[in-house]
Amino acid sequence: MGFSGVIGQEEVIRSLENDMKYGRIGHAYVFSGTAGIGKKTVAGIFAGMLICNAADISDPCGVCQACRLFISGANPDFRLIKAEGTSIGGDEIREIQGSVAIRPMYSKRKVYIIEDADNMTVQAQNCLLKTLEEPPSYVVLILTASNYESLLETIRSRARRISFKKNTNAQVRQVIAEKYGNDARGIEFAAAYADGIIGTALDLIETEEFIGLREKTFELVNRIKNSGLADIFSTFSFFEDNRDDYNVILDMMAMFYRDMLVAGETENEKILINSDKRDIIFNNARKYSPQQLVADIEQIEAARRAIKQNANFQLAVEQMLIKLREE
Ligand SMILES: [Zn+2]
């Protein structure tokens, strides 16, 4: 796969394609941006382009010996370094130092990706600096970092920074659709929830736990209007059991109410976030006035704020549930 297969990140891709086009490949790059935004994916693709002996500006050839070895994960001219535990230490970086001195075997270049380079210890960073100061002409280092500022200034100043920005929801949706089909369960929700970060959307789609959580949240909201007070207190146990994910649950609830608001205003189901739940949403929407839905969304946000400010978890959740149930 080459740059032509990447969805979104247009600026990043244009800049790297220009480097390919004008033959001005840097010795070191830092790909910076939020976790899940696509840095590692693009770094892997860029490495494949740099390793190929016949790449154009957008795609590796896929058939030269360097490509074939790279695709099978056996090209010695490419190395991926990532943290074994929580940090990347001096030993791992010293290995690079030894390796850069040996000329490439199958490619014009030797390419190193250091994943989550912001996890390098200071010692490791200082060690890397020696390579960055006088890299052999064939070496390209690609560092990915969510936290650009934790790289030493001396490293930052020797590497070209490529900043990754959020994608649009439509682009995130497209990535999911290409991987899991247009009808993937929860696709609209995941695209909206991910807020431009593809990794977050894929995590949501791929996690059974999330799918279960979403189903249960829907059940909960679906019956809240007709429930008795006793039900409210038993509903709390759902929150208690999933306390670590309370933010996700509240997001799911807020998006359900948002969808009911939309459904009350228009018949257009295309703009629903939870389009796979359209029947439940349209049925429920009739039970509420728009003012009430706006107030309910505010209740959910109030509960979120209260919990964040260390209010009693149970009280905050129950108070919200009681308010949501009230006429
Ligand atoms: Zn090739």
* Average of per-residue pLDDT across 149-170: 96
Please check whether residue 204 is in contact with residue 222, taking contact to mean a CB–CB distance below 8 angstroms. no
Please check whether residue 90 is in contact with residue 83, taking contact to mean a CB–CB distance below 8 angstroms. no
What integer best gives the mean pLDDT of the chain?
92
Q: Give 181 Cα–ligand 1 centroid separation in angstroms.
A: 30
Beta-bridge mates of residue 114:
81, 143
* Average of per-residue pLDDT across 33-46: 96
Q: How many CA atoms lie within 13 A of 177 on its CB side?
A: 12
Ramachandran angles phi, psi of 80, nearest 5°: -110, 125
Does 327 score more than 70 pLDDT?
no
Confidence (pLDDT) at 205 = 87
Q: Give 64 Cα–ligand 1 centroid separation in angstroms.
A: 4
| Greater model confidence, 29 or 200 | 29
Q: Give 183 Cα–ligand 1 centroid separation in angstroms.
A: 35
Structure tokens at 295: 């107030």
Q: Give 107 Cα–ligand 1 centroid separation in angstroms.
A: 9
* Per-residue pLDDT tens digits for 74-102: 999 999 999 888 899 988 899 898 899 99
- Residue 317 identity: V
Domain boundaries, the chain: 3-163, 207-325
Strands 160-163 and 110-114: unpaired
CATH of 207-325, one of 3.40.30.10, 1.10.10.60, 1.20.272.10, 1.10.230.10: 1.20.272.10
Q: Give 51 Cα–ligand 1 centroid separation in angstroms.
A: 7
H-run or E-run covering 30:
strand 28-32
Q: Give 54 Cα–ligand 1 centroid separation in angstroms.
A: 5
| Cα torsion 170, 175, 180, 181: sign | positive
Q: Give 38 Cα–ligand 1 centroid separation in angstroms.
A: 23
Confidence (pLDDT) at 209 = 82
Q: Give 53 Cα–ligand 1 centroid separation in angstroms.
A: 5
Q: Give 27 Cα–ligand 1 centroid separation in angstroms.
A: 20
What residue spans of the chain are helical by DSSP H?
10-21, 39-51, 65-71, 90-100, 122-133, 153-156, 169-180, 187-194, 198-206, 208-224, 229-241, 246-265, 278-285, 290-308, 313-325
Q: In terms of Cα–Cα distance, which of 231, 229, 225 is closest to 286?
A: 225
Beta-bridge mates of residue 31:
144, 162
Class of domain 3-163: alpha beta
Q: Give 42 Cα–ligand 1 centroid separation in angstroms.
A: 17
Q: Give 20 Cα–ligand 1 centroid separation in angstroms.
A: 14
Structure tokens at 28: 């070191």
Burial label for 184, CB within 10 Å (0-12, 13-18, 19+), is middle
* Average of per-residue pLDDT across 180-189: 85
Residues constituting the chain: 327
Q: Do domains 3-163 and 207-325 have the same CATH topology?
A: no
Q: Give 62 Cα–ligand 1 centroid separation in angstroms.
A: 5
Residue that the structure tokens 């933010």 belong to: 247
Residue that the structure tokens 């990754």 belong to: 164
Question: How far lies 305's CA from each of 2, 297, 309, in Å?
Answer: 44, 13, 6
Q: Give 63 Cα–ligand 1 centroid separation in angstroms.
A: 5
Q: How many CA atoms lie within 13 A of 188 on its CB side?
A: 14
- Kindly report the pTM of this predicted structure: 0.78
* Per-residue pLDDT tens digits for 40-74: 999 999 999 999 999 999 999 999 999 999 999 99
Q: Give 325 Cα–ligand 1 centroid separation in angstroms.
A: 62
Q: Give 72 Cα–ligand 1 centroid separation in angstroms.
A: 13
Does 194 score more than 80 pLDDT?
yes
Structure tokens at 82: 């990532």
Q: In terms of Cα–Cα distance, which of 315, 319, 321, 314 is closest to 217?
A: 321
Q: Give 221 Cα–ligand 1 centroid separation in angstroms.
A: 54
Q: In terms of Cα–Cα distance, which of 88, 85, 75 is closest to 48?
A: 75
What whole-number distance in Å separates Cα of residue 234 and Cα of residue 210?
A: 21
